[in-house]
Amino acid sequence: MSATAEAHLASLARPDAPPAIVMDKVNKWFGSLHVLRDVTLNVGNGERVVICGPSGSGKSTLIRCINRLEQHQEGRIIVEGNELTDDLRSLDAIRREVGMVFQSFNLFPHLTILENCTLAPIWVRKTPKAEAEALAMSYLERVKIPEQAKKYPGQLSGGQQQRVAIARALCMQPKIMLFDEPTSALDPEMIKEVLDTMVGLADSGMTMVCVTHEMGFARQVADRVVFMDRGEIVESGTPTEMFETPKTDRLRLFLSQIL
């Protein structure tokens, strides 16, 4: 295990690595509700994909299936070469590689910022405490809040808490980061600081799948934008293709509502 943020992020560039994520004709139902319909999506190593679409279109379900917070019923999902099956070892292997950041920051309120960041490395990865703390501090520096390490989440602003949540996920040294609307619970003045952190991460070569409606962010970092509606991937392309020359009425309608 590399002991600094820099060493971890520098290790991400692996030109010969397998695709980060392969989803092949994935279907999922909640009861009789068909929420993912033949979703096929490949994410290359180091690729940045932004997923957008109306509320209820299946965006959260799609990314939650990637680390098995939700279970798909048909099709295949392969993450960093490991297929998601009922085998717990494959699940363990995948959760090791995948970090996730949610809309609500989900920090532990009774633990300090530093303790939030070292909990999983110490208990799950069995990293010695001093090493976990040094690593956590290097990530807190990266997200530009090392001075908050001894405080509790309730003493931080929403934007600061979300940056801690990003640092906490990074402390497990994942190869892939999933973001589910990380800025949509934030006051407008805090959105930029979180997006800036995500841009920095994208620049470091991290494979990222982000559900967001921040189209400026999508233009700046996304290799590909994927538009979902009613459980389907309706259209995908570069940010320019998607925003300048949408092919479907559904995407045109969606863009007219958010831009």
Q: In the bound complex, what is the minimum distance in angstroms from residue 45's beta carbon to ligand ADP?
A: 25
Q: Under rule CB under 5 A, how many of the chain's residues touch Mg ion?
A: 1
Q: Which of 106, 170, 187 is nearest to 135 (CA)?
A: 170
Establish if 82 lies at the interface with ligand ADP (CB under 6 A): no
* CA distance linking residue 225 with residue 237, whole number of Å: 6
Per-residue DSSP letters for 11-77? TT--TTPPPSEEEEEEEEEETTEEEEEEEEEEE-TT-EEEEE--TTSSHHHHHHHHTTSS--SEEEE
127 part of the interface to Mg ion, by CB under 5 A: no
Q: Taking the complex as a whole, how short is the minimal distance between the CB of residue 182 and Mg ion, in angstroms?
A: 11
With residue 190 as reference, give the H or E element that holds it.
helix 188-203
Q: Does 57 bind ligand ADP (CB under 6 A)?
A: yes
Torsion of CA 162, 144, 93, 120, to 10 degrees: -80
By rule CB under 6 A, what count of residues binds ligand ADP?
A: 11
157-181 in b/e form (b: 16+ CB < 10 A) is ebbbbbbbbbbbbbbbbbbbbbbbb
Looking at beta carbons only, is 60 or 82 nearer to Mg ion?
60
Residue 46 or 231 with smaller CB distance to ligand ADP: 231
* In the complex, minimum distance from the CB of residue 31 to ligand ADP, in angstroms, rounded to a whole number: 7
Closest CA to 143 of 105, 180, 110: 105
55 binds ligand ADP (CB under 6 A): yes
Comparing C-alpha atoms, which of 49, 47, 63, 43 is closest to residue 13? Answer: 47
Q: Which residues contact 147 (CB under 8 A, 6 or more apart)?
A: none
Task: State yes or no: residue 59 binds ligand ADP (CB under 6 A).
Answer: yes
Q: Decide whether 60 or 197 has the Cβ nearer to Mg ion.
A: 60
Q: For ligand ADP, give the closer residue by CB, 53 or 153.
A: 53
Q: Is 67 in the site for ligand ADP (CB under 6 A)?
A: no
d(CA 201, CA 144): 13
Piece of 59-67, 108-116, 143-151, 251-259 that binds ligand ADP (CB under 6 A):
59-67
Q: Which is nearer to ligand ADP, 40 or 71 (CB)?
A: 71
The answer to whether residue 60 forms part of the interface with Mg ion (CB under 5 A) is: yes
Stretch that binds ligand ADP, among 50-58, 128-136, 164-172, 196-204 (CB under 6 A): 50-58
Binding part of the chain for Mg ion, among 55-63, 70-78, 119-127, 197-205 by CB under 5 A, reads 55-63
Chain residues that interact with Mg ion, rule: CB under 5 A: 60
Chain residues that interact with ligand ADP, rule: CB under 6 A: 30, 33, 35, 53, 55-61
